[in-house]
Amino acid sequence: MPTVLAISGSPSGTSRTVAAAESALDRLEVLGFAVRHLAVRDLPAADLLAGKTSNPEIRRALDEIAAADGVIVATPIYKASYSGVLKALLDVLPQRGLAGKTVLPLATGGSLAHLLAVDYALRPVLTSLGARHVVEGAFLLDSAFVSDATGIRYTLAPDADLRLDDAVGGFAMALGMMYGPRHEVGRGGLAAHRRHALFAPLDDPMLRDPVRG
């Protein structure tokens, strides 16, 4: 079964971007994928900015990226581009650091004015790093996320939840065609299978039950 690594490039530990990445992984895990999450903010900042790939934590992160069959690259959009935190990691990848991999770009932002940043800022970088297939991504508005009283757990509006479902489904199908049987995960198809974790549509009855934060 293919392995998937999500890279979240938000400087915040309780961000919408992190929640989106976790939600995508939850959906993929339900389908049987082996999943991991790499939060760039948790890497040693000084060594990352200095490009010190000899640092054990940075070396481990690079090895995880190299070992993954599929990579989710999740970022907030600032000033029509991906985050500086994400750029710091992408800058230390080898020239063909995503060679042969299927990649799903995910982005969050405060305005639809940032929508094109996925295709015009992020996608070219992923392609230049050798990604075999950069599938259609998803851009999720900040306003589609609603946090609970703790500010940690998020829910997602139904229309945005379906867009994320579509993006993850296309990613899973692309990986399935490369590495094994094609997954039946068409439009909205993941909704019936995924676990309720950090994320769920606002009208999901499972919201009445306690879940992990």
Name all domains of the chain by residue range, CATH numbers in brackets.
3-208 (3.40.50.360)
Specify the pLDDT at position 148. Answer: 77
Specify the pLDDT at position 136. Answer: 95
pLDDT tens per residue across all 213 residues of the chain: 789 999 999 998 778 999 999 999 999 999 999 999 999 999 999 999 999 999 999 999 999 999 999 999 999 999 889 999 999 999 999 999 999 999 999 999 988 778 888 999 999 999 999 999 999 999 999 888 888 777 677 878 888 999 999 999 999 999 986 655 444 454 445 554 443 333 434 333 333 333 332
The residue assigned the tokens 């063909």 is 96
Q: Are 182 and 3 a contacting pair, CB within 8 Å?
A: no
In whole angstroms, how far apart are CA 30 and each of 67, 119, 175? Answer: 21, 28, 15
The H-assigned helical ranges of the chain are: 16-30, 45-49, 56-67, 84-92, 117, 123-128, 158-179
Specify the pLDDT at position 69. Answer: 97
What whole-number distance in Å separates Cα of residue 117 and Cα of residue 104?
14
Q: Which two tokens stand for residue 21?
A: 């990445």
Q: Are 78 and 108 a contacting pair, CB within 8 Å?
A: no
Q: Which two tokens stand for residue 116?
A: 């094109």
What whole-number distance in Å separates Cα of residue 210 and Cα of residue 213?
9
Specify the pLDDT at position 178. Answer: 61
Q: Are 144 and 160 a contacting pair, CB within 8 Å?
A: yes
